[in-house]
Amino acid sequence: MKVKSKIWLEKNGELVIGEGKSRLLKVINQTGSINKAAKKMGVSFRHAWGCLTAIEKRLGVKLIERSRGGRGGGGSILTPAAKRLIRKYDKLRDSVITFTDAAYKRISS
Amino acid sequence: MKVKSKIWLEKNGELVIGEGKSRLLKVINQTGSINKAAKKMGVSFRHAWGCLTAIEKRLGVKLIERSRGGRGGGGSILTPAAKRLIRKYDKLRDSVITFTDAAYKRISS
């Protein structure tokens, strides 16, 4: 057997960030575009946009800075708050996975 | 914000036990009946039975001992293997919750 785990952050009982939303933010960071990120993740722009505004509303912080203009039509970059949120989530998730695997080994032996 | 976690055990990529199945086994233990346990949990007997046989098949161990006869029509009791599985899952889940809460506090401070 193998142990699996999942963690997420909630505020007032509502999801703020889990694996999916963390990945969405990272892909926006890589591509500089919500639209490209949505395509890469196989979700609609509308869905991605809805996710982002929901987290922003729940946390009361902006996650995305949109730059307009230029031929490329501008792009989207993550705010420092969004980067901090991803870092926090990743750090927590990694430490929980490490702990869970070790605890499972301990319990099973 | 609050951190939430979920853990489960898998074998060959298939679920063996998580929160729902652990609760089902405990309620069978309390009621001595798969039928009563299913009713208490708001699932059909068929569903509960399907869960149990799936775990038994995946693990290659019996979880339920059925006693037949008598006026009550017999009952279902957990095997020692099922009790060990619940204990293992509970212990692991509790320690992961404790760790996750502490790790979140550490990261947030």
Query: Shortest CA distance to B90 belongs to which of A95, A107, A105?
Result: A107
CB contact under 8 A, B107 and A100: no
Q: What is the pTM of this model?
A: 0.86
CB contact A98 to B (< 8 Å): no
CB contact under 8 A, B1 and A8: no
What is the reported pLDDT for A82? 97
Q: How far apart are CA A36 and CA A42, in angstroms?
A: 10
Which residue is associated with the tokens 């902006």? A62
Amino acid at A90: D
Å between B100 CA and nearest CA of chain A: 6
Q: Give A-chain residues touching B6 at CB under 8 angstroms.
A: 5-7
Taken in order of first residue, the domains within chain A and their CATH numbers are 10-108 (1.10.10.10)
Contact yes or no for A44/A38 (Cβ under 8 A): yes
The answer to whether residue A72 scores a pLDDT higher than 70 is no
CB contact A92 to B (< 8 Å): yes
Contact yes or no for B55/B63 (Cβ under 8 A): yes
CB contact under 8 A, B96 and A8: no
Q: How far apart are CA B13 and CA B88, in angstroms?
A: 19
Query: Shortest CA distance to B35 belongs to which of B58, B59, B64, B61?
Result: B64
Cβ-based burial of B17 (10 A; exposed 0-12, middle 13-18, buried ≥19): buried
CB contact B14 to A (< 8 Å): no
CB contact under 8 A, B10 and A16: no
Name the strand (E) or helix (H) holding B22: helix B19-31
Q: How far apart are CA A48 and CA A56, in angstroms?
A: 12
- Per residue of chain B (109 residues), what is the pLDDT tens digit? 999 999 999 999 999 999 999 999 999 999 999 999 999 999 999 999 999 999 999 999 999 998 765 555 568 999 999 999 999 999 999 999 999 999 999 998 8
Cβ-based burial of B79 (10 A; exposed 0-12, middle 13-18, buried ≥19): middle
What is the reported pLDDT for B73? 58
Contact yes or no for B92/A107 (Cβ under 8 A): yes
The answer to whether residue A39 scores a pLDDT higher than 70 is yes
Å between A4 CA and nearest CA of chain B: 5
DSSP letter for each residue of chain A: -EEEEEEEEEETTEEEE-HHHHHHHHHHHHHS-HHHHHHHHT--HHHHHHHHHHHHHHHTS--EEEE--TTTT-EEEE-HHHHHHHHHHHHHHHHHHHHHHHHHHHHH-
Asked casually if ipTM beats, i.e. exceeds, 0.85, the reply is yes
What is the reported pLDDT for A38? 94
Mutation for testing the B interface, residue in A22, A55, A97, A107 having most B CBs under 10 Å: A107
